[in-house]
Amino acid sequence: MRIPLKHGAHRVGKRTDADMQRWREYGLGQFIHWGVYAIPGGQWNGKTTHYAAEWFRTSGLITKEEYDNLYKQFNPAKFDAKKWAKQAKQMGAKYMIFTTKHHDGFCMWPSKYTDYTIANTPYKSDIVKELVDAYTAEGIDVYLYFSIIDWSHPGYQAGTAITNDDRLNWAGYTAISNEKDKAGYETFKEFTRNQLIELLTNYPTVKGLWFDGSWDGAWMKEAAWVDALGTELRDMHPGLIIGSRFRADENGKRHEDTNGDLIDDYDQRFERNLPNSLAETKGFDWDCVMTIPENQWGYHRDWSLTYVKTPYDLIEMTVKANSLDGNFVINFGPDGDGNIRQEETDIAKSIGNWMSVNGDAVYGVQHSVLEKQDWGHSTAKGDITYLTVFNKPMNNLLRIKVPRSKDKDMIYVIENAMFKPTKKAAVIRDGGRDKSGSVYYDIVLPADIQKLSEPFVIEIKLKQVNKGEKGSYQQALT
């Protein structure tokens, strides 16, 4: 039985408009975490934090006063928005999410509602504007990350007291501390609203807002107010895309409301974690945001602390996400001078080189009818199915299991197959059938494909034809 809700989801099922369709087709995105935390880069006075570098204010290695004065040194002389945008374009990113304000409250745009902004650094210029302009010029859509948590605002009381221990009980802690000064919290709410309106006014070309920190206990208690704010933002910016991290319903339920419907436009629960089946996604639109090291979003000088993903790890995750109808977003953490570190540059280049050959398997695709198979992942667009092969079989025969059609008079056939890297047609052999009626095909991997050291894509034409249709199955075999 459905429970009547005033502040639950405003729609059952997916958005069907053109803006959301565009979002769905991105396939690959870039996240950028950049702020004053890039100056210490996880280290201070010879000590290194193992916590995420963008949380450095709470690391215990720096005093609050020291941290809150870092902005006076923020002067990224090497920052070149156009260079970053070109690199993202080469990588194949179709959208970019930028941290306008992380939990520390430092604003990368000259907000008129606080002095804690880029305008009061030696750098002075509006970094958000530089990035929005540069990425938009490259045809990359921009989304603004905005942290609800703001340690710099006096009405957000957790800001002064927060320690690593507090953050383990974040929601409870803020709910209690903000209870103590309701008037203060009202000023914080108004400040947050003003800043969001300011962002959408200053940067009208952005496509959406990417919220974070909304697990904050005080925020979760403001369902009616936050819901009204969401409506106000959507009214002022038609087509605006907002994920499920913005608000809770009146029962404190986040992402899915009390009835299990998705709150707002897409599911933001998959952080550093991919679903393993379509069932796990519940049929919602979703994205997965991923760090390159284990859990570092902002710049950390020392990348020897955890496993650092390879370009192929990230390509595999990108294809997997798209095979399950999600977008994949790779995070970059530039340093305090405005450089994207060499490792990230190299990774972006490798991914871009791969995407330039095989990107059809990622952009504008959806889940294919093929079940997950050991060699990799499959995606589909119309009657084309893309097989992205990560594990080449030792016998160089790639076995494809084609499911039984739901219609008993029809069967699936592979009409032709082509290797993306060589653009050559593949030889397909009959691989037999099993008791369930599934049909197997073996694609012969020729010598030039066998030699490849990287994943590759085979484009196949998978069609449903009438079982009795003359020649349909035989023609598939060469």
User: Where do contacts with ligand FHN occur on this chain (CB under 6 A)?
Assistant: 52, 54-55, 212, 271, 289, 297
Tokens found for residue 470: 């003359």
**C-alpha distance across the termini of the chain, in Å:** 56
In whole angstroms, how close is the CB of 123 to ligand FHN at the nearest point? Answer: 22
C-alpha 476/C-alpha 384 separation (Å) is 15
For residues 28 and 328, the answer to whether their CB atoms sit within 8 Å is yes
In whole angstroms, how close is the CB of 358 to ligand FHN at the nearest point? Answer: 27
Residue that has been written with the tokens 């304000």 in this structure: 101
Ramachandran area for residue 22 (φ above 0: left; ψ -120 to 50: alpha; else beta): alpha
Nearer to ligand FHN, 242 or 445 (CB): 242
Q: How many helices (H) and strands (E) does the chain have?
A: 15, 19
Residue that has been written with the tokens 């969001």 in this structure: 196
Nearer to ligand FHN, 212 or 256 (CB): 212
In whole angstroms, how close is the CB of 273 to ligand FHN at the nearest point? Answer: 11
For residues 352 and 308, the answer to whether their CB atoms sit within 8 Å is no
Spell out the residues 6+ positions from residue 279 whose beta carbon is closer than 8 angstroms to its own.
none
In whole angstroms, how close is the CB of 102 to ligand FHN at the nearest point? Answer: 6
For residues 327 and 267, the answer to whether their CB atoms sit within 8 Å is no
Nearer to ligand FHN, 290 or 458 (CB): 290
In whole angstroms, how close is the CB of 192 to ligand FHN at the nearest point? Answer: 17
In whole angstroms, how close is the CB of 207 to ligand FHN at the nearest point? Answer: 18
Which residues on neighbouring strands pair with residue 386, listed in sequence order? Answer: 379, 459
In whole angstroms, how close is the CB of 54 to ligand FHN at the nearest point? Answer: 5
Nearer to ligand FHN, 109 or 146 (CB): 146
For residues 142 and 96, the answer to whether their CB atoms sit within 8 Å is yes
Nearer to ligand FHN, 35 or 155 (CB): 35
Nearer to ligand FHN, 43 or 353 (CB): 43
Q: Provide Rg for the chain, Cα atoms.
A: 25
Nearer to ligand FHN, 271 or 360 (CB): 271
Nearer to ligand FHN, 54 or 267 (CB): 54
Tokens found for residue 41: 């880069």
In whole angstroms, how close is the CB of 52 to ligand FHN at the nearest point? Answer: 5
C-alpha 368/C-alpha 436 separation (Å) is 19
What angle, rounded to 10 degrees, do the helices at 342-358 and 81-91 form?
Answer: 40
